[in-house]
Structure 1
Protein backbone atom coordinates (compact mmCIF):
# COMPACT_ATOMS: atom_id res chain seq x y z
CA UNK A 1 0.00 0.00 0.00
CA UNK A 2 1.17 3.52 -0.84
CA UNK A 3 -0.10 6.89 0.20
CA UNK A 4 0.15 9.29 -2.75
CA UNK A 5 -0.01 13.03 -2.11
CA UNK A 6 -0.40 15.53 -4.95
CA UNK A 7 0.97 19.06 -4.83
CA UNK A 8 -2.68 20.18 -4.66
CA UNK A 9 -2.94 18.50 -1.24
CA UNK A 10 -5.15 15.66 -2.44
CA UNK A 11 -4.23 12.27 -0.89
CA UNK A 12 -4.98 8.76 -2.18
CA UNK A 13 -4.42 5.33 -0.68
CA UNK A 14 -3.22 3.11 -3.56
CA UNK A 15 -2.74 -0.65 -3.41
CA UNK A 16 -0.95 -2.51 -6.19
CA UNK A 17 -1.70 -6.23 -6.46
CA UNK A 18 -0.82 -8.63 -9.26
CA UNK A 19 -4.45 -8.84 -10.35
CA UNK A 20 -5.69 -5.30 -9.67
CA UNK A 21 -5.02 -1.74 -8.60
CA UNK A 22 -7.26 -0.14 -5.99
CA UNK A 23 -7.53 3.55 -5.11
CA UNK A 24 -9.33 4.39 -1.87
CA UNK A 25 -10.36 0.68 -1.73
CA UNK A 26 -12.15 0.98 -5.09
CA UNK A 27 -11.02 -0.88 -8.23
CA UNK A 28 -9.12 1.37 -10.62
CA UNK A 29 -9.45 0.50 -14.29
CA UNK A 30 -7.69 2.28 -17.08
CA UNK A 31 -6.30 1.81 -20.54
CA UNK A 32 -2.85 3.19 -21.18
CA UNK A 33 -0.93 3.55 -24.43
CA UNK A 34 2.75 4.39 -24.54
CA UNK A 35 3.51 7.06 -27.13
CA UNK A 36 7.29 7.19 -26.48
CA UNK A 37 9.67 9.66 -24.83
CA UNK A 38 7.74 9.63 -21.54
CA UNK A 39 4.44 10.41 -23.29
CA UNK A 40 1.28 8.40 -22.60
CA UNK A 41 -2.40 8.41 -23.49
CA UNK A 42 -4.82 7.30 -20.74
CA UNK A 43 -8.49 6.40 -20.75
CA UNK A 44 -10.26 6.30 -17.37
CA UNK A 45 -14.03 6.26 -16.82
CA UNK A 46 -14.68 7.39 -20.40
CA UNK A 47 -12.31 10.36 -20.14
CA UNK A 48 -9.15 10.84 -22.19
CA UNK A 49 -5.92 12.15 -20.67
CA UNK A 50 -2.56 13.11 -22.10
CA UNK A 51 0.27 12.35 -19.66
CA UNK A 52 3.96 13.19 -19.75
CA UNK A 53 6.54 11.98 -17.22
CA UNK A 54 8.75 15.01 -16.63
CA UNK A 55 11.02 13.66 -13.88
CA UNK A 56 11.21 10.75 -11.44
CA UNK A 57 13.24 10.93 -8.21
CA UNK A 58 13.35 7.31 -7.07
CA UNK A 59 15.23 8.09 -3.86
CA UNK A 60 12.58 10.50 -2.59
CA UNK A 61 9.67 8.74 -4.32
CA UNK A 62 8.68 11.92 -6.16
CA UNK A 63 7.17 11.99 -9.66
CA UNK A 64 6.68 15.12 -11.74
CA UNK A 65 4.02 14.80 -14.45
CA UNK A 66 2.08 16.92 -16.89
CA UNK A 67 -1.55 15.82 -17.18
CA UNK A 68 -3.27 17.48 -20.14
CA UNK A 69 -0.45 20.05 -20.03
CA UNK A 70 -0.92 20.90 -16.34
CA UNK A 71 2.08 20.23 -14.03
CA UNK A 72 1.52 17.82 -11.15
CA UNK A 73 3.86 16.46 -8.48
CA UNK A 74 3.11 13.20 -6.72
CA UNK A 75 4.88 12.14 -3.52
CA UNK A 76 4.60 8.48 -2.49
CA UNK A 77 5.03 7.08 1.02
CA UNK A 78 5.15 3.37 1.71
CA UNK A 79 3.93 1.75 4.92
CA UNK A 80 7.35 2.10 6.59
CA UNK A 81 7.53 5.85 5.94
CA UNK A 82 3.96 6.24 7.19
CA UNK A 83 4.86 4.37 10.39
CA UNK A 84 7.90 6.62 10.93
CA UNK A 85 5.68 9.67 10.44
CA UNK A 86 3.14 8.27 12.91
CA UNK A 87 5.90 7.74 15.47
CA UNK A 88 7.20 11.27 14.90
CA UNK A 89 10.46 10.07 13.38
CA UNK A 90 9.80 11.04 9.76
CA UNK A 91 10.42 14.75 10.27
CA UNK A 92 13.64 14.05 12.19
CA UNK A 93 15.08 12.19 9.21
CA UNK A 94 14.15 15.03 6.87
CA UNK A 95 15.74 17.81 8.91
CA UNK A 96 18.30 19.88 7.07
CA UNK A 97 21.90 19.47 8.16
CA UNK A 98 23.63 22.85 8.59
CA UNK A 99 27.07 21.70 9.74
CA UNK A 100 29.52 18.83 9.76
CA UNK A 101 31.17 18.10 13.09
CA UNK A 102 34.26 16.03 13.82
CA UNK A 103 33.18 12.51 14.85
CA UNK A 104 36.46 12.03 16.77
CA UNK A 105 39.64 13.96 17.57
CA UNK A 106 42.23 13.97 14.81
CA UNK A 107 44.28 15.82 12.21
CA UNK A 108 42.89 17.36 9.00
CA UNK A 109 45.03 15.91 6.17
CA UNK A 110 42.94 16.90 3.13
CA UNK A 111 40.18 19.42 2.38
CA UNK A 112 38.25 18.67 -0.79
CA UNK A 113 35.69 21.52 -0.80
CA UNK A 114 35.65 25.30 -0.63
CA UNK A 115 33.04 27.92 0.28
CA UNK A 116 30.38 28.35 -2.40
CA UNK A 117 30.75 24.79 -3.68
CA UNK A 118 27.57 22.77 -4.13
CA UNK A 119 27.76 19.25 -2.70
CA UNK A 120 25.50 16.24 -2.82
CA UNK A 121 24.83 13.71 -0.11
CA UNK A 122 27.79 11.32 0.05
CA UNK A 123 30.36 13.65 -1.57
CA UNK A 124 33.81 13.56 0.10
CA UNK A 125 34.40 16.80 2.02
CA UNK A 126 37.63 16.28 3.92
CA UNK A 127 39.96 13.64 5.32
CA UNK A 128 40.48 13.31 9.08
CA UNK A 129 43.41 11.24 10.33
CA UNK A 130 42.71 9.57 13.67
CA UNK A 131 44.56 6.71 15.32
CA UNK A 132 46.82 6.35 12.24
CA UNK A 133 43.79 5.84 9.97
CA UNK A 134 42.44 8.22 7.34
CA UNK A 135 38.68 8.79 7.56
CA UNK A 136 36.91 10.41 4.63
CA UNK A 137 34.11 12.60 5.99
CA UNK A 138 31.21 12.81 3.55
CA UNK A 139 28.37 15.24 3.10
CA UNK A 140 25.32 14.19 5.15
CA UNK A 141 22.94 15.96 2.72
CA UNK A 142 22.73 18.08 -0.43
CA UNK A 143 23.69 21.70 0.08
CA UNK A 144 26.17 24.48 -0.51
CA UNK A 145 29.33 24.89 1.57
CA UNK A 146 29.18 28.33 3.22
CA UNK A 147 32.29 28.08 5.39
CA UNK A 148 35.20 25.71 5.98
CA UNK A 149 36.10 26.21 9.66
CA UNK A 150 39.41 24.29 9.55
CA UNK A 151 42.64 24.39 7.61
CA UNK A 152 45.03 21.73 6.43
CA UNK A 153 47.05 20.17 9.29
CA UNK A 154 44.66 21.51 12.00
CA UNK A 155 44.14 19.33 15.06
CA UNK A 156 40.44 19.05 15.86
CA UNK A 157 38.45 17.81 18.83
CA UNK A 158 35.39 15.58 18.83
CA UNK A 159 32.27 17.63 18.07
CA UNK A 160 34.19 20.59 16.63
CA UNK A 161 32.42 22.25 13.67
CA UNK A 162 34.40 21.56 10.50
CA UNK A 163 32.13 22.76 7.68
CA UNK A 164 28.93 24.82 7.53
CA UNK A 165 26.24 24.46 4.85
CA UNK A 166 23.35 26.56 3.62
Structure 2
Protein backbone atom coordinates (compact mmCIF):
# COMPACT_ATOMS: atom_id res chain seq x y z
CA UNK A 1 0.00 0.00 0.00
CA UNK A 2 1.19 3.50 -0.75
CA UNK A 3 1.83 6.24 1.78
CA UNK A 4 -0.36 8.64 -0.18
CA UNK A 5 -3.56 10.09 1.24
CA UNK A 6 -6.75 10.87 -0.61
CA UNK A 7 -8.26 14.15 0.56
CA UNK A 8 -11.83 15.35 -0.06
CA UNK A 9 -12.77 18.94 0.74
CA UNK A 10 -16.50 19.66 1.13
CA UNK A 11 -17.13 16.64 -1.12
CA UNK A 12 -16.39 19.04 -4.02
CA UNK A 13 -12.62 18.82 -4.41
CA UNK A 14 -10.57 15.65 -4.31
CA UNK A 15 -6.82 15.35 -4.50
CA UNK A 16 -3.94 13.14 -3.48
CA UNK A 17 -1.59 14.28 -0.74
CA UNK A 18 1.90 12.83 -0.68
CA UNK A 19 4.16 12.88 2.41
CA UNK A 20 6.58 15.25 0.66
CA UNK A 21 3.67 17.69 0.11
CA UNK A 22 3.15 17.95 3.85
CA UNK A 23 6.90 18.21 4.50
CA UNK A 24 7.05 21.25 2.22
CA UNK A 25 4.36 23.24 4.04
CA UNK A 26 5.40 26.41 5.85
CA UNK A 27 3.05 25.82 8.77
CA UNK A 28 3.49 26.77 12.42
CA UNK A 29 1.11 26.02 15.29
CA UNK A 30 0.40 29.26 17.18
CA UNK A 31 -1.89 27.78 19.84
CA UNK A 32 -4.14 24.75 20.31
CA UNK A 33 -6.14 24.27 17.11
CA UNK A 34 -4.68 27.37 15.42
CA UNK A 35 -1.96 27.56 12.81
CA UNK A 36 -0.09 30.11 10.71
CA UNK A 37 0.44 29.08 7.07
CA UNK A 38 2.60 30.89 4.56
CA UNK A 39 1.65 30.20 0.95
CA UNK A 40 3.87 32.08 -1.49
CA UNK A 41 3.75 35.66 -0.25
CA UNK A 42 0.50 35.24 1.64
CA UNK A 43 0.08 34.72 5.37
CA UNK A 44 -3.00 32.62 6.19
CA UNK A 45 -4.59 31.93 9.58
CA UNK A 46 -5.96 28.39 9.86
CA UNK A 47 -8.16 27.12 12.69
CA UNK A 48 -9.33 23.57 13.30
CA UNK A 49 -12.94 23.94 14.47
CA UNK A 50 -13.98 20.32 14.89
CA UNK A 51 -12.33 16.91 14.62
CA UNK A 52 -13.76 13.42 14.30
CA UNK A 53 -10.76 11.11 14.46
CA UNK A 54 -12.78 7.94 13.86
CA UNK A 55 -14.34 9.32 10.67
CA UNK A 56 -11.05 11.05 9.76
CA UNK A 57 -13.03 14.23 9.23
CA UNK A 58 -12.03 17.76 10.20
CA UNK A 59 -13.71 21.17 10.01
CA UNK A 60 -11.10 23.79 9.13
CA UNK A 61 -11.63 27.53 8.98
CA UNK A 62 -9.57 29.54 6.50
CA UNK A 63 -10.26 33.24 5.88
CA UNK A 64 -13.64 33.06 7.61
CA UNK A 65 -14.90 30.10 5.57
CA UNK A 66 -15.29 26.63 7.07
CA UNK A 67 -14.38 23.55 5.05
CA UNK A 68 -15.00 19.89 5.85
CA UNK A 69 -11.92 17.84 5.07
CA UNK A 70 -11.95 14.04 4.95
CA UNK A 71 -8.68 12.15 4.75
CA UNK A 72 -8.41 8.56 3.51
CA UNK A 73 -5.21 6.65 4.20
CA UNK A 74 -4.01 3.66 2.17
CA UNK A 75 -6.27 1.21 4.02
CA UNK A 76 -9.33 3.43 3.54
CA UNK A 77 -8.51 3.68 -0.16
CA UNK A 78 -8.16 -0.09 -0.47
CA UNK A 79 -11.50 -0.65 1.31
CA UNK A 80 -13.14 1.87 -1.02
CA UNK A 81 -11.64 0.20 -4.10
CA UNK A 82 -13.30 -3.06 -3.00
CA UNK A 83 -16.71 -1.33 -2.99
CA UNK A 84 -17.01 -0.82 0.76
CA UNK A 85 -17.07 2.32 2.85
CA UNK A 86 -14.88 2.59 5.93
CA UNK A 87 -16.46 4.30 8.92
CA UNK A 88 -19.97 3.81 7.61
CA UNK A 89 -20.93 1.24 10.21
CA UNK A 90 -21.93 3.85 12.83
CA UNK A 91 -25.33 4.37 11.15
CA UNK A 92 -26.25 0.69 11.03
CA UNK A 93 -29.69 -0.05 12.47
CA UNK A 94 -29.86 -3.75 11.63
CA UNK A 95 -27.56 -6.74 11.25
CA UNK A 96 -28.04 -9.20 8.40
CA UNK A 97 -26.36 -12.55 7.83
CA UNK A 98 -23.20 -12.09 5.74
CA UNK A 99 -23.54 -15.68 4.44
CA UNK A 100 -25.86 -18.65 4.81
CA UNK A 101 -25.31 -20.67 7.94
CA UNK A 102 -26.57 -21.97 11.26
CA UNK A 103 -27.10 -19.79 14.35
CA UNK A 104 -24.84 -21.38 16.96
CA UNK A 105 -25.31 -18.84 19.73
CA UNK A 106 -26.82 -15.43 20.47
CA UNK A 107 -24.80 -13.94 23.36
CA UNK A 108 -27.07 -10.88 23.67
CA UNK A 109 -30.77 -10.23 24.13
CA UNK A 110 -33.45 -7.70 23.21
CA UNK A 111 -33.13 -4.60 25.37
CA UNK A 112 -29.43 -5.21 26.06
CA UNK A 113 -27.00 -2.33 25.72
CA UNK A 114 -23.99 -3.33 23.64
CA UNK A 115 -20.68 -1.67 22.91
CA UNK A 116 -18.84 -1.60 19.61
CA UNK A 117 -17.10 -4.96 19.18
CA UNK A 118 -19.40 -6.94 21.51
CA UNK A 119 -20.43 -10.33 20.07
CA UNK A 120 -24.04 -10.35 18.85
CA UNK A 121 -24.47 -13.62 16.95
CA UNK A 122 -22.25 -16.63 16.35
CA UNK A 123 -22.91 -18.03 12.90
CA UNK A 124 -21.65 -21.45 11.82
CA UNK A 125 -20.78 -21.42 8.14
CA UNK A 126 -18.24 -23.23 5.98
CA UNK A 127 -17.11 -25.35 8.96
CA UNK A 128 -16.16 -22.21 10.89
CA UNK A 129 -17.64 -20.22 13.74
CA UNK A 130 -18.10 -16.61 12.65
CA UNK A 131 -18.61 -14.07 15.41
CA UNK A 132 -20.73 -11.18 14.22
CA UNK A 133 -19.75 -8.24 16.40
CA UNK A 134 -21.57 -5.01 17.08
CA UNK A 135 -20.48 -2.27 14.69
CA UNK A 136 -21.52 0.43 17.18
CA UNK A 137 -22.80 1.20 20.65
CA UNK A 138 -26.52 0.81 21.03
CA UNK A 139 -29.50 -1.02 22.42
CA UNK A 140 -30.76 -4.21 20.82
CA UNK A 141 -34.35 -3.61 19.74
CA UNK A 142 -35.23 -7.07 18.46
CA UNK A 143 -33.57 -10.43 17.85
CA UNK A 144 -35.08 -11.93 14.70
CA UNK A 145 -33.55 -15.44 14.83
CA UNK A 146 -33.27 -18.26 17.34
CA UNK A 147 -30.38 -20.50 18.30
CA UNK A 148 -30.19 -23.51 15.99
CA UNK A 149 -31.98 -21.82 13.09
CA UNK A 150 -30.64 -21.95 9.57
CA UNK A 151 -30.36 -18.53 7.90
CA UNK A 152 -29.87 -17.35 4.35
CA UNK A 153 -27.43 -14.70 3.21
CA UNK A 154 -28.75 -11.18 4.00
CA UNK A 155 -31.44 -12.56 6.34
CA UNK A 156 -32.27 -10.12 9.15
CA UNK A 157 -30.63 -11.26 12.40
CA UNK A 158 -31.31 -8.35 14.75
CA UNK A 159 -32.26 -4.69 14.93
CA UNK A 160 -30.89 -1.77 16.95
CA UNK A 161 -33.13 0.87 18.56
Instruction: Give the TM-score of the pair, scaled to structure 1.
Output: 0.59
Deviations 1:6-27 (A, max 9, x none): 105122333223xxx28xxxxx
1:55 aligned residue: 51
1:110 CA drift (Å): 2.8
For residue 32 of structure 1, the aligned residue among 27, 35, 43 is 27
Count matched residues: 146
Distance of aligned partners of 1:36 and 1:79 in 2 relative to their CA distance in 1, 3 Å threshold: same
**Does the CA-based 8 Å contact 1:114-1:148 persist in structure 2?**
no
Change (3 A) 1:72 1:112: farther
Partner of 2:6: 3
Q: Report the counterpart of residue 107 of structure 2 in structure 1.
A: 110
Contact 2:27–2:35 under 8 Å retained in 1? yes
Deviation at 1:84, TM superposition (A): 6.5
Contact 1:112 1:126 in 2 (8 A): no
Query: What secondary structure sits across from 2:18 in the alignment?
Result: strand
Partners of 1:108 and 1:49 in 2: CA distance: 58
Q: What is the Cα-based RMSD across aligned positions, in Å? A: 4.1
Q: Structure 2: which 5+ runs fail to align?
A: none
Aligned to 1:25: none
Aligned to 1:46: 41
Q: Deviations over 1:63-96 (max 9, x none)?
A: 33222343212223456755765xxx44x31276
Q: How does 1:132-147 map to 2 (within 5 A)?
A: 136-139=131-134, 141-142=135-136, 145-147=140-142
- TM-score normalised by length of structure 2: 0.60
Cα deviation, residue 127, structure 1: 5.6
Aligned position for 1:155: 148
Q: Structure 1: which 5+ residue stretches go unaligned?
A: 23-27
Preserved CA contact (<8 Å) 1:143 1:165: no
- Compared CA separation, residues 5 and 109, structure 1 to 2 (3 A): closer
